[in-house]
Structure formats: C-alpha cells, structure tokens
Amino acid sequence: MTRPIVRDRGRKESREKTVQRHREALGKRDEQGDSKDGLQSMSEVGSPSCLDDDGMPTLAQLNLGYLHMNEIRNVIHAKDKNKMFGSKSPRAVAYKEANAVHTREVSLVADWVLSSHPHFEKLDSDQKKVLFKNFFLPFVMLETGYYCVLHDRTDIIYLPSGDYIDTAHPESFYHDEEGKQKMSTEDAVKLFAPSFEIYRRNILDPMRRDRVDVYEFYTMCSLVLWDHGLEGQSPESEEVSRSARELIIKELIFYYKHVKKLNNFAARIASLLILLPSLLRAVRRFQEDVEISHVFSVYSVDDQFYQMVNGKF
C-alpha cells in the first residue's frame, strides 16, 4: 500500500530538521577548532542529537556518549579543585603521568562503547574482550589525532586530561622525577623519540590535513572496533562486525550527502580508510617501545600500564 503523502511530508521535514541539527553541531565544532584551553574545548565538541536521528542513529548515539564521557573525564582526571573547575592551564607531562591518564581511561572508554553500540552489549563476554583488546590503543591514537585537528597543531600530543606531551621537547616526556629510571633521559630520547615522528607522519598530520571532523572520527573508531578475522573471534562475532561496519558506512554516506553536501564523498571515505593501516603501524611501534622498555628495564613502566598495552584489562 502506498504511504499517505502527509506522512511522506512529515518524514521529509523530520529529515530536514535532523540534517540542520547536525550542520549546527558541525559548525559549533569548527568554531572551537582554534581553542587552546585543553580539556574544556574537547568536552564541548559536537552537540546532543536525538537518539533515533533519521539516517545516522549510531553516529548520534556515539556523539551523545562521547559528550557524556568527556564530562566524566573532567572529574576523573582532575588533580585538584582548580583543575576540576577548568581554571588550570594545560601543561607538558612526563611519561609516568601520561601512562596513568591512559590507564584511567580504560573503564571510561569501555562504558562509551557499551552505551553506544547495542550489538556490542549483546555479544558474549569473551567476544567483547577480543574486540576491545583490538580497539583501545587505536582509539587512543585516533582521539589524539582528532585533538590535533581541534587545536590545529601536531607538535604536541593532547591527552584526555587536557594536559599534553611536548614532542618538540621529548626530554620533558622521558624524565623521571623520582630518579629511578635506569636509562638517561638523553639515551631514552635517542631510542624512543623517533616513534613520535612516525606517529605524527602516519596519523596526526593526515588527520589534521584532511580536517577530520567529529562524525568521521566516530566512524573510524567504529571501523576499528568492528574488526573481523581477529584471533579468538567467533563466527557469530565476525558476522556482527561485518554488519556493523556496513551500517556505519551507510550512516557516514548519509552524513556526507545530506549534512556536508559533498559531491565526491567516495574520495573522502577512501582517505579515511587509507588511514587505518597507518594507524595499525603506529600502534605496533608503540607496543614495541613499551615491550623494549619493560623487558630491558630501560625506563620504568607501571605493570598495570604494561598489561593494558598488551590488551590484558
């Protein structure tokens, strides 16, 4: 039976409102792109959208969950009352503090994934672990790349706490205030600092150059989460992953066609997909650095952080 014209008009008006809402969200993100206020600007990206937005419900849910996660981050990563209320300026941190920040992130990111992907929540516990183990470190690196887009710079690596790693002065990162580091700061810089350059060339610079926006960031996160062919992954989980990837690409196409009004969105999608192999290279390099530092005790790595890097949550 043919649907009434009135319903079609209502659907069209609903879609137009959805598109306009996402355009406004994108505009707000662009206005904040030059902010240098650390975590405050990061927690304001995007704009809450209706959970059943026509055309991109998963991306809308991811946006809501991400905004909520950033609100929690403001509290979790706060070290004192001043920072809790956003008045403390971002500062360069050394590796121990950066590692502690990422360790605290595990449960926050897991909650975001669970609340944003209904299909993930329905998976068996062991399959959730398989996917999340493969997801967490790439997510950390993708998010850092997105921060670089927001702040329009790649010489520093912003952390979820609002502080940052000063890659232009790596000696500030490879410094142990407690003096327990077996390797000198100078030698640590020579051995590990080149990894920052690899990370910058493979992830930070391309994301900044392409001006990857918040919904593209969510899309790449989803593509990494819903990987398939992983060790220990069940056939059922692989099928769910393939379906979830197809769905998120369809939503991204809707976003390009109806929100951003891109004519050549296929090229834009290709540029995002090309980033994924580079992302994996950067992740492997980071894991190798941590393994070397742990096995040879060249500089102290907290055991909890070491386990996290190896996917043992």
State pLDDT tens for residues 46-91.
Answer: 444 443 457 999 999 999 999 999 999 988 988 654 554 555 788 9
Which domain does 237 fall in, by range?
Answer: 36-309
Report, as an integer, the average pLDDT of 259-265.
92
User: Residues for the chain: how many in total?
Assistant: 313
- Bridge partners of 92, per DSSP, are 164
When divided into structural domains, the chain yields a total of: 1
Q: Is position 5 within any domain?
A: no
Q: Is position 208 within any domain?
A: yes
State pLDDT tens for residues 120-175.
Answer: 989 999 999 999 999 999 999 999 999 999 999 999 999 999 999 999 999 999 88
Sign of CA dihedral 34, 40, 42, 47: negative
Instruction: Report the pLDDT value the prediction gives residue 17, as an integer from 0 to 100.
Output: 53
Report, as an integer, the average pLDDT of 233-240.
98
Q: Is position 9 within any domain?
A: no
pLDDT at 3 over 50: no
Q: Is position 8 within any domain?
A: no
pLDDT at 37 over 90: no
Instruction: Report the pLDDT value the prediction gives residue 207, as an integer from 0 to 100.
Output: 98
pLDDT at 209 over 50: yes
State pLDDT tens for residues 163-205.
Answer: 999 999 999 998 887 767 778 889 889 989 999 999 999 999 9
Q: Is position 153 within any domain?
A: yes
Higher per-residue confidence, 107 vs 50: 107
State pLDDT tens for residues 7-32.
Answer: 344 444 444 554 455 455 455 444 44
Tell me the average pLDDT of the chain. 84
pLDDT at 106 over 70: yes
Q: Is position 196 within any domain?
A: yes
CATH number at residue 269: 1.10.565.10
Instruction: Report the pLDDT value the prediction gives residue 86, as an integer from 0 to 100.
Output: 54
Q: What pTM does this model have?
A: 0.83
Q: Is position 28 within any domain?
A: no
Q: Is position 47 within any domain?
A: yes
